[in-house]
Structure formats: structure tokens, C-alpha cells
Amino acid sequence: MDSLLWGVRLIAILVLIWGVAGTIVQGLNGAGPSAEAWRDLVVAGIAQGAMYGLIALGYSMVYGVLGFINFAHGEVFMAGAMSGFFVANYLWQVHFWDNYFVLAILLVLLTSVLTSMLVAVIVERVAYRPLRASPRLVPLITSIGISFFIQYSFAGLFGVAVKNYPPAPDSLRNRIGFLGLEIEGTKLAVIVVALISMGLLYLFVEKTRTGRSIRAVAEDKEIAALMGINVDRTIVASFAVGGVMAGVAGTLWSLLFRGVAFHTGFLPGIKAFTAAVLGGIGNLPGAMVGGLFLGTFEGVGSQLVLAGLGIPAVSQLKDVVAFTALVLVLIFRPTGLFGERLSSEDRA
């Protein structure tokens, strides 16, 4: 088995080298993307990866305290993005969006965050808390059912058509000089806000009393309860914080891509789960880095590797590239880039 695994690893390395070498040859012959195009691919990948990282934090927090994957978290993200649309659309109609854009986007962000947090807390209370003593397969299957329930509830309430956010002002869509690079203002704003949100979450978990309670419950629920920590309240806090990050991601996603629908959370949710596994499930810094890595590889991987292999229409294969990144990381490091963080029960 070990020899087979090493054979797969060797084949993967050779394919990557062959693809990258082919892309370099194409570039030297003037057939590949320009330097400006490569820059745009990297920036777009980082912006998208930052949003994956925000959503992935919710997966990692829930896994840390309950030990199962909440597959409904993508719909928590969608709920925030969808609710923000109605606020943004109203502000657009009364001409507040253009005249006071910063305040308008803050109102949309507040709406998205509160909605996602509320949905996450309700899901925990109604669907997961009664199953806490059940085998892990039961809440896992329940999370898939809750995912479809939220999707089609929103489809029934608001319709199945894609809803487009108002466009950002021209001043934000224009390119802005940053660190010697010309970057589209929208993408730069997404990256900066996502990184600030990740940093604030890390400080919250590491420095606050609630954060220490979350880490204690993730380590051992029974001992945490004996030390006077309210386990139920701490688990709710974990869902709420994960919902806040999903709400921030929902606003940033809408600012970048504009279109939202009842199924918007499905694919980003799966990719965010992939990012959480890449970084090491249960590891918050790993989820952040895993999201950035996944988005960047998704953005440049198709051109960097697949184009060099002579595969046509590589721009249509971004999803394949993203999940291939997961396979490659798990082949070489099964616990993820930063390693899993398991509770004492899981380690036993």
C-alpha cells in the first residue's frame, strides 16, 4: 500500500512539473497570458480564497466543538447574501446606495451578519441540539437535510431567479495602486475586509473569555462543564460566530459577483469545506490559509498546469482544479497543511 501511495505521489509530481514546464514554454513563445493577466488571476484568486476562508471558519468551529461537519453552513452564507440584497436594492431605489455608498454597504453588512448569525443559531437549537447524544452520522445526515430545507425555503419565499446587487460606484471598480500593483478596487476591498475579519476572529478566540470557553469545550466537554463552563451556551456562541463570518463572506461575495440565488451557497460551501480540510479540519488558522491557498490555486492552476498539458478550455475547469488541490494535499499530508485539531474524545 505504501509503495502504491508513493507511486501516486510521484505521478502527481511529474504531471505538475510537466504542466508548469509546458506553460513556461508557451509563455516564452508568446502564446500564454501576459504578465498583467497573471497578476489579475492571482488577485482574483486571493479575493475568492479570502471568502472561502471566512466560510471555512464556520466549518472548523463547529467541527471543533461538536466533531461533525455542518453541511448547512453554505446555506447560512446564502441567507446572509440574500437578505443583504433586499436592503441593497431598497437603498438603490431611494438613491442612498450611490450617494452614501460606505454607509449603505455597512447597513447591508449588518443585515447579512445578523441574518446569518440568526439562521446558524436556529439551526443549532432546532436541528442539532436534540441530536447531540446521537451517533455522529445522524447529525451529519441531518445537516444535509437542513441544507436542502433552507435552500428551498428561500426559493419558495423569494423565487428561483438570480437577484443582482446594485453595481459598486465607479471609484471602487477602478484600479487602485497598491504595493506597486494596479488592483481593481472591489477585489482589494474584499481582500482587506476578509483579512481584517479573520484577524478579529483569531483575537476573539485567543483573547476573550468566550473564546477560551470555546477552546476548552473543543478540547473536552465534560471537563469544561466541571470547570463551570456552560457547554450549551458555548456551542451556541460557536455557531453564532461562524454565522457572523458567513455573513461577512455573503456581503463580500455579493460585492464581487453581485448575483445571488437560493442555490448560491452550495458550491462556495463545498469549496469552503475543502478549504477547511486543506488547512486541517478544526484548525482556525488552517481554515484561513486553506481558503487563500484554494482560491489562489483555483485562480491560476488551470492556466499554470492544465494549459501546459494542452487541455482545451481550461477556464471552464476551475472547479476541477479546486478539488484536485484537495486530493493533492491529502495525498502528501492527510491531516491538512496545518494538521487537524481534535478533541480528547476524537484522539482516543
Whether residue 96 is found in the same domain as residue 52: yes
Per the CB < 8 A criterion, the answer to whether 200 and 192 are in contact is no
Inter-axis angle of helices 231-257 and 35-66, nearest 10:
160
Q: How confident is the model at residue 344 (pLDDT cuts 50, 70, 90)?
A: very low
Whether residue 115 is found in the same domain as residue 245: yes
Q: Whole domain around residue 10: which residue ranges?
A: 1-32
- Which whole number is the average pLDDT over 33-37? 71
Q: Please count the other Cβ atoms lying within 10 Å of the Cβ belonging to residue 310.
A: 10
Number of domains, the chain: 2
Which triple of cell numbers denotes residue 228? 463551570
pTM of the prediction? 0.86
Which triple of cell numbers denotes residue 348? 482516543
Whether residue 289 is found in the same domain as residue 325: yes
Whether residue 96 is found in the same domain as residue 236: yes
Whether residue 43 is found in the same domain as residue 25: no
pLDDT over 60 (residue 87): yes
Whether residue 4 is found in the same domain as residue 82: no
Whether residue 238 is found in the same domain as residue 161: yes
Place of cell 484561513: 288
Whether residue 163 is found in the same domain as residue 238: yes
- Which whole number is the average pLDDT over 57-68? 82
pLDDT of res. 340: 60
Q: Poorest-confidence range of 36-45, 120-129, 287-296?
A: 36-45
CATH number, position 135 = 1.10.3470
Write the burial class of residue 10 (CB in 10 Å: 0-12 exposed, 13-18 middle, 19+ buried): exposed
**How big is the CA angle at 239 (ends 80 and 345), to the nearest 5 degrees?**
150
Q: What residue type is assigned to position 208 of the chain?
A: T
Q: Tens digits of per-residue pLDDT, 217-267?
A: 888 778 888 888 888 888 899 999 999 999 999 999 988 888 899 988 888
Which triple of cell numbers denotes residue 11? 505521478
Q: How confident is the model at residue 302 (pLDDT cuts 50, 70, 90)?
A: confident
Give the separation between CA 56 and CA 8, rounded to whole angstroms.
28
pLDDT over 70 (residue 348): no
Whether residue 60 is found in the same domain as residue 27: no
DSSP code of residue 125? I
Whether residue 185 is found in the same domain as residue 227: yes
Q: How confident is the model at residue 75 (pLDDT cuts 50, 70, 90)?
A: very high
Whether residue 221 is found in the same domain as residue 180: yes
